[in-house]
């Protein structure tokens, strides 16, 4: 799985240009703000044009609040303080913020259900491969042996009564980068609904979006998935209504060594970057689910993802894999998993 990711969705021109600023009684407002290491964008329609700017700013304030809660880059965040305290407490339970505890518990549920394909303890592995703040490097065998001792969701212990978290071995740390943006998108959508916004498109850096309702005169929001090999091309265009689309892909960060491409999306169980996958696009009812499941399916591969999907409700995926012809890498194939 990945700790951070970049833009994989192209927000199609339909929702930026085709929809007029005023349609019937609806007014339109757009805003952007940098938070959680990416650009959040909101396009909102509502009947009260004077209220829309304040509503959108409040939505961005909610993203900033969650960034202060979940960031592993900010040393003062509750997540960072939890990691720091657990590292020096000899497995003593550390009480934490109830909302943060709930996000951690949900993350561990995805870990259990995916047999470890999703794992929020993957931070040390990302650092070993140079993807934490860089573009990647080959770790030594000794480094990988060491990091294998410091990852694994089974080493995280939760106390539901006290909202306390403990690690059963030193060196474990939590990184919510694989689920946090989707969770923030859901909280923004909740706020927009509560403030009676009629329709909106919420984007977390283009990698997780949610389409609330539909723009005036349209049957959905038009969103295009970027070609996994050519950033200037479109691979797939979808129409979304009251649904999330989340993307995991190797194009954000990768490096090549001896003809092999190593991406930043890791299989926590092997301590190696995932091979044989390019992009996974997940449609789901919530951004939280999509943000976690795109990692799961990317790590699991086509066959195991198909089997896992039979246990899920209202989820589908588009899986892009390399197309090898005549011994070379010439393109990609796409498989739709309903």
The CATH number linked to 121 is: 1.10.3980.10
Q: What average pLDDT does range 223-243 have in this prediction?
A: 95
pLDDT at 16: 37
In a domain, 101, yes or no: yes
pLDDT of residue 336: 98
Query: What does the pLDDT average to over 327-338?
Result: 82
Assess if residue 98 is contained within a domain.
Answer: yes
| DSSP character at residue 220 | S
> In the chain, pLDDT over 70 holds for what percent of residues?
90
Give the whole-angstrom CA distance, residue 139 versus residue 292: 26
In a domain, 305, yes or no: no
Instruction: Calculate mean pLDDT across residues 207-215.
Output: 97
Domain annotation covers residue 263: no
The model's confidence at residue 251, banded by pLDDT at 50, 70 and 90, is confident
How confident is the model over 182-196, as pLDDT tens digits? Answer: 999 999 999 999 999
Q: What is the pLDDT of residue 6?
A: 40
Average pLDDT of 143-172?
A: 93
Q: What is the mean pLDDT of residues 261-275?
A: 94
* Residues with Cβ within 8 Å of residue 134, at least 6 apart in sequence: none
If one counts the domains in the chain, the total is 1
Task: Evaluate if residue 96 carries a pLDDT over 80.
Answer: yes
Q: Would you say residue 133 lies in a domain?
A: yes
- The verdict on residue 293 lying in a domain is no
- Residue 79 lies inside a defined structural domain of this protein: yes
- Could you read off the pLDDT of 27-37 as tens digits, one per residue? 999 999 999 99
Containing domain of residue 145, as a range? Answer: 69-167
More confident residue, 19 or 85: 85
Tens digit of pLDDT for each residue in 17-62?
A: 334 444 458 999 999 999 999 999 999 999 999 999 999 999 999 9
CA–CA distance, 64 with 172 (Å, rounded to integer): 26
* 3-state SS assignment for residue 279: strand
Predicted pLDDT at 21: 46
For all residues of the chain together, what is the average pLDDT? Answer: 90
Number of H-type helices and E-type strands within the chain? 7, 19
Model confidence at 13, in pLDDT bands (50, 70, 90)?
Answer: very low
- The reply to whether 152 falls in a domain is yes
Question: Residue 12's pLDDT is what?
Answer: 38
pLDDT of residue 14: 33
Q: DSSP secondary-structure letter at 229?
A: S
N-terminal to C-terminal alpha carbon distance within the chain: 22
């Amino acid at each position: 799985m990945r700790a951070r990711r970049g833009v994989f969705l192209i927000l199609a021109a339909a929702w930026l240009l085709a929809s007029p600023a005023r349609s019937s009684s609806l007014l339109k407002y757009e805003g952007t703000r940098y938070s959680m290491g990416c650009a959040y964008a909101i396009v909102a329609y509502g009947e009260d044009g004077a209220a829309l700017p304040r509503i959108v700013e409040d939505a961005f304030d909610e993203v900033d609040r969650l960034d202060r809660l979940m960031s592993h880059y900010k040393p003062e965040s509750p997540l960072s303080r939890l990691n720091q305290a657990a590292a020096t407490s000899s497995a003593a339970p550390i009480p934490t913020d109830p909302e943060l505890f709930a996000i951690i518990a949900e993350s561990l549920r995805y870990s259990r259900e995916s047999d470890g394909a999703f794992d929020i303890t993957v931070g040390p592995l990302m650092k070993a491969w140079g993807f934490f703040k860089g573009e990647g490097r080959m770790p030594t065998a000794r480094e990988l042996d060491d990091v294998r001792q410091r990852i694994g969701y089974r080493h995280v212990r939760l106390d539901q009564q006290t909202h306390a978290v403990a690690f059963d071995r030193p060196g474990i740390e939590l990184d919510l980068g694989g689920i946090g943006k989707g969770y923030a998108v859901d909280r923004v959508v909740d706020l927009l609904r509560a403030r009676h916004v009629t329709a909106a498109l919420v984007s977390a850096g283009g990698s997780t979006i949610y389409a609330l309702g539909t723009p005036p005169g349209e049957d959905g929001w038009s969103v295009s998935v970027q070609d996994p090999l050519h950033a200037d091309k479109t691979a797939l265009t979808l129409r979304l209504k009251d649904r999330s689309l989340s993307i995991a892909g190797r194009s954000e960060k990768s490096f090549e060594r001896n003809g092999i491409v190593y991406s930043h999306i890791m299989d926590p169980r092997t301590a190696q970057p995932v091979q044989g996958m390019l992009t996974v696009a997940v449609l789901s009812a919530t951004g939280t689910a999509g943000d976690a499941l795109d990692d799961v399916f990317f790590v699991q591969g086509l066959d195991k993802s198909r089997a896992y999907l039979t246990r899920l409700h209202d989820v589908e995926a588009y899986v892009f894999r390399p197309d090898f012809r005549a011994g070379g890498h010439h393109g990609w194939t796409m498989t739709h998993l309903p």
